[in-house]
Amino acid sequence: MKGKATSFDIAYRAGVSQSTVSRALRNSPLVSEKTREKIQQIAKELNYTVDKNASSLRSQTSTTLALLLFEDPTSDDSLVNPFFLSMLGSITRECGKLGYDLLVSFQELDADWHSVFKDSNKADGLILLGYGDYLDYEAKLRELVKHSTPFVRWGAATKSIDTCSIGCDNFHGGWQITEHLIKHGRKQFGFIGAVHDGAPEFRARYEGHCEALTRAGLEANAQLQKNAVNTEEDGFNATLQLLAENQPLDAIVVASDLIATGVLKALEQKGIKVPEQCAVVGFDDVPIARYTKPALTTCRQDSTAAGVMLVDKLVQLIKGEPVTDAFMKTKLIVRESCGTQQ
């Protein structure tokens, strides 16, 4: 081995994380006696000496990340969007792997997140999942940027703020799932989901949807786009509005699976057969998507990979390493509701 041994060398030999080594060498109770002895033995063999300066710097951090969930006031029995709940497992696991604790709380819109978490040394950085109206939320992001609080967020890229955003390529997803329907002969499209400034992700899906129509020589009819927030109820009501336009329809592209469950319900109530008379496709691939009848064709956002990436990028930010936005490709999941399954 060249040069002075570092805690990473010990970690490598002991098959543990660097933070475990660091804990073991300061006799932290978080490390079992057996592991501590093993690490101390390796440290001795390598003539390792603690860099006091680096060690004291490190101890000023909390080795804790805070996950701030959006508490959805429109949702009746679940307070958290199921798509975000599905990320919790992989975020928790990745934090454990990297030696970070995970604090979970709701995004209190009237709180100063920087002071509550970073200034008070509760957390080294923040992970933000979900938001209500994007415009209110953007003001909170600006505050965090002003204080140089390390944070990452799940969502569409922000043009106006310098944040680390991780999301899926919503435009591509909207394009991809619409193109699939066009290829299989659907021509008369409705779109359900809010497309205003407060919902940039739904809007990107809509823009991708329109792009696919344009490329195929079809026209996006603005009258057949109906706003809905992310609830089954809104999907149900928006579908009734859409049908009230009394225009021919053979496909409905929906901005989320949760909204799509309401769309399916409304079509069933009106006696419109899915997919025979009208195809329906969703977005997200939440657990319920495979249980609806017909099972929902959708655009999967890989929530496991997303959780890992959010934690990894945040830890890079905390360490002062450069990070970039990341947008994952969506995956088309063909089930029954699009009518193209063999």
Nearer to its own copies, 82 or 193 (CB): 82
Question: In angstroms, rounded to a whole number, what is the distance separating the alpha carbons of residues 147 and 163?
Answer: 12
How many separate helices (H) and strands (E) can be counted in the chain?
12, 12
DSSP conformational letter for 119: I
Phi, psi of 236, rounded to the nearest 5 degrees = -60, -50
Nearer to its own copies, 113 or 137 (CB): 113
Query: What is the layout of strands, in order, in the sheet containing 279-281?
Result: 225-226, 189-192, 251-254, 279-281
Q: Is 234 left (phi over 0), alpha (psi -120 to 50) or beta?
A: alpha
Helix (H) or strand (E) holding 34: helix 33-45
Which positions from 268 through 287 interact with its own copies, judged by CB under 8 A? 287
Q: Which residues contact 25 (CB under 8 A, 6 or more apart)?
A: 7, 39, 40, 43, 50
Nearer to its own copies, 156 or 267 (CB): 267
Which x/- pattern, by CB under 8 A, does the window 126-165 give for its own copies?
Answer: ----------------------------------------
* Interface segment toward its own copies; rule CB under 8 A; list 2-10, 180-188, 245-253, 291-299: 291-299
Residue 247 sits in the site that holds its own copies (CB under 8 A): no
Residue 185 sits in the site that holds its own copies (CB under 8 A): no
* Distance in Å, CB of 131 to its own copies, minimum: 16
CA-nearest of 132, 137, 330 to 230 is: 132
Chosen residue from 55, 78, 247, 341 binding its own copies by CB under 8 A:
78
Chosen residue from 149, 292, 301, 330 binding its own copies by CB under 8 A:
292
CA-nearest of 280, 277, 286 to 336 is: 280
| Residue with token string 């509005």 | 241
Between vectors from CA 261 to CA 330 and to CA 225, what angle results, nearest 5°?
Answer: 75
Chosen residue from 82, 130, 174, 193 binding its own copies by CB under 8 A:
82
Nearer to its own copies, 111 or 323 (CB): 111
Residue 304 sits in the site that holds its own copies (CB under 8 A): yes
* Interface segment toward its own copies; rule CB under 8 A; list 80-88, 152-160, 168-176, 274-282: 80-88
Residue 328 sits in the site that holds its own copies (CB under 8 A): no
Which positions from 83 through 122 interact with its own copies, judged by CB under 8 A? 85-86, 88-90, 92-93, 95-96, 101-106, 108, 110-112, 115-116, 119-120, 122
* Distance in Å, CB of 138 to its own copies, minimum: 20
- 3-class SS of residue 105: strand
Nearer to its own copies, 293 or 319 (CB): 293
* Distance in Å, CB of 311 to its own copies, minimum: 13
* Distance in Å, CB of 54 to its own copies, minimum: 21
Which positions from 30 through 59 interact with its own copies, judged by CB under 8 A? 30, 32
Token representation of residue 236: 């149900």
Burial tier of 217 (Cβ tally within 10 Å: 0-12, 13-18, 19+): exposed
Radius of gyration (Cα) for the chain, nearest Å? 24
CA-nearest of 222, 227, 221, 214 to 179 is: 214
- 3-class SS of residue 296: coil
Binding site for its own copies (CB under 8 A): 28-30, 32, 64, 67, 69, 71, 77-80, 82, 85-86, 88-90, 92-93, 95-96, 101-106, 108, 110-112, 115-116, 119-120, 122, 261, 287-288, 291-293, 304
